[in-house]
Structure 1
Amino acid sequence: MSPPPAHPPALPLIEGMLARRTTNGPFRPDPVSREHQHLLMRVAQAAPSHFNSQPWRFVLVENPQTIAEIARISGESMTELIEAGVFFERYRRYFRFSEAEMEERRDGIHIDHLPGPLRPFTRQVFSDAGLKLMRQLGVPKKLGEDNRKLVAGSPLLLAALLDKSEYRPGELSGFYSVFGLGAAMENIWNAVGALGMGIQFVSTPMEIPRQWRAIQTLLNVPGDLELMAVYRLGYLPAGEKRPSIDWSSRHRKRLSQFVARERWGEPEEE
């Protein structure tokens, strides 16, 4: 029997997974077809779960008024987080400011797109002095408005929930449930590209408890379910318009940085 080729041809599924990305820009206004929505739910349904418990629940949101309200909450949350400096304080350690830094670390996000007045101060933008300058230039409100527009212009929102009879934090069932939902969402994330779609996590309301509660109320989340995340989805436009502050994050760690052979301390080489 001949040995397998050194570099076997990549399968379409694997190629799609390696090409996966998050959509930071706007979507086309076209509604997401019901066929595609159900296909995404079926790929989520195919994910593994502990004892086939399938603890995930989803809400598909197309109503323009509901989307507009979630967009308002998201934009207000972004403005509040930036204005108070909370966002940068929490996540500063992930920011990179040059290709060289990204190449060395191979993780985090490269802040490579800033409003004109801030570009000369790229590295200082996320310092205390930089935050003061951003407030003076009205950047928090601009970022909040950009965020609101992105969410408001999304034809479909997807709320991901967990059944509390399975999701019990502090117990193994809590881990199994989060693991299962993560697998379901990863299936969705890997499938959208094949449909000409994109997806992005609507994260800012989660940072502020009262705003997250407002979304739970809006979606009529009952007491036996836990709202875990909200995503925006839509079809990708031909040209991509970048937000006011944007980043790239295509670098990935080398095998030797995250894989060991037999025991930790013996890094796997490429």
Structure 2
Amino acid sequence: MIYPDGMELTAALLSRRTTNGAFLPRPVSREHQRVLMSVAAAAPSHFNSQPWRYVLVEDRRTIEAVADISGRSMTALIEQGVFFERYRRYFRFSHAEMEERRDGIFIDHLPGPLRPFTRQVFSDAGLKLMRQLGVPAKLGEDNRKLVAGSPLLMAALLDRAEYRPGELSGFYSVFGLGASVGNVWNTVASLGMGIQFVSTPMELPDRWRELGELLRVPPELELMAVYRLGYVPPEERRPSIDWSSRHRKRPSQYVFREDCTHPETD
């Protein structure tokens, strides 16, 4: 398979990335939206059950409301220290650390006042400093603007008739949705687009319920994730706090031969 811009599928998969910055303001064409939903539908699912459902949102009022929920969630997560406590183990602070671990995110972009304290920022003492500098509110507003500036939101849901947590159907449904969203994620670049989780509301149950009510999710469906999509500008502007996550584990760190006692060689 060849992508429209000539990239082979393998090259496209290996160059996949998440868009942390702003999108161009122009709407996502209906043609491209149909392409994304077509590749989403092409994913494998248990007994071809196709348990996924999608909501595509272009209405500015709805996008602004989702952005408000996302921004408030970000502010609360940073202010309360929940975000750092929950994800601190994934933070890396040097190229050497990234090279050794080959996972997590390299915090390589911070607001000026915080740069001398890169490692300390993500400690309890650093959180106090961040509060004093008004960083939680700043990050919340940055997050709100980022989501509000997105021309398209995509909500991913599962059909509760198939999605039954605690049963095998629960696993099969999540597996199928992951494959479906993965198809979308690996297709956007060929359309000149980017994609990113709108993840902060997921961290706070009250905000997640608020988002479900906004999207009028019926009882028979389960809201699983929300994404922002749009066309990527030639030069991406980085958010206030940003990171790099291009490293991948070496084969010896995640591949085994024949059984789990024989790691693959690098």
TM beyond 0.5: yes
Which residue number in structure 1 is paired with residue 191 of structure 2?
195
Q: Tell me, in whole angstroms, the C-alpha distance in 1 between the residues paired with 2:115 and 2:10.
A: 38
Question: After the TM superposition, which residues 123-162 of structure 1 pair with which residues of structure 2 at under 5 Å, given as runs?
Answer: 123-162=119-158
Q: Tell me, in whole angstroms, the C-alpha distance in 2 between the residues paired with 1:211 and 1:130.
A: 26
2:126 maps to 1:165: no
> For residue 243 of structure 2, what is the amino acid of its counterpart?
W
Which residue number in structure 1 is paired with residue 260 of structure 2?
264
> For residue 250 of structure 2, what is the amino acid of its counterpart?
R
1:218 to 209, 214, 217: 214
Q: Secondary structure at the match of 1:48?
A: coil
Q: Secondary structure at the match of 2:27?
A: coil
Which residue number in structure 1 is paired with residue 83 of structure 2?
87
Question: After the TM superposition, which residues 53-92 of structure 1 pair with which residues of structure 2 at under 5 Å, given as runs?
Answer: 53-92=49-88
Query: 1:265 Cα deviation (Å)?
Result: 1.8
Which residue number in structure 1 is paired with residue 204 of structure 2?
208
1:39 to 35, 42, 56: 35
Q: Secondary structure at the match of 1:232?
A: strand
Deviations 1:59-91 (A, max 9, x none): 000000000000000000000000000000000
Q: Tell me, in whole angstroms, the C-alpha distance in 2 between the residues paired with 1:167 and 1:32.
A: 30
Query: 1:269 Cα deviation (Å)?
Result: 1.2
> For residue 253 of structure 1, what is the amino acid of its counterpart?
K
Q: Secondary structure at the match of 1:169?
A: coil
Q: Tell me, in whole angstroms, the C-alpha distance in 1 between the residues paired with 2:222 and 2:65.
A: 20
Which residue number in structure 1 is paired with residue 231 of structure 2?
235
> For residue 201 of structure 1, what is the amino acid of its counterpart?
F
Please tell me the root mean square deviation across aligned C-alpha atoms, in Å. 0.9
2:115 maps to 1:116: no
Deviations 1:81-122 (A, max 9, x none): 000000000000000000000000000000000000000000
Q: Tell me, in whole angstroms, the C-alpha distance in 1 between the residues paired with 2:251 and 2:30.
A: 40
Query: 1:229 Cα deviation (Å)?
Result: 0.2
Query: 1:11 Cα deviation (Å)?
Result: 7.1
Q: Secondary structure at the match of 1:157?
A: strand
Percent identity, please.
Answer: 76
| Cα distance change, pair 213–256 in 1 and its aligned pair in 2 (3 A) | same
Q: Secondary structure at the match of 2:155?
A: strand
> For residue 69 of structure 1, what is the amino acid of its counterpart?
A
Q: How many residues align?
A: 261
Which residue number in structure 1 is paired with residue 178 of structure 2?
182
Q: Tell me, in whole angstroms, the C-alpha distance in 1 between the residues paired with 2:230 and 2:168.
A: 35
Q: Which stretches in structure 1 are left out of the alignment for 5+ residues? A: 1-9
Which residue number in structure 2 is paired with residue 5 of structure 1?
none
Q: Tell me, in whole angstroms, the C-alpha distance in 2 between the residues paired with 1:11 and 1:27.
A: 22
Deviations 1:191-237 (A, max 9, x none): 00000000000000011111111111111100000000000000000
Query: 1:253 Cα deviation (Å)?
Result: 0.2
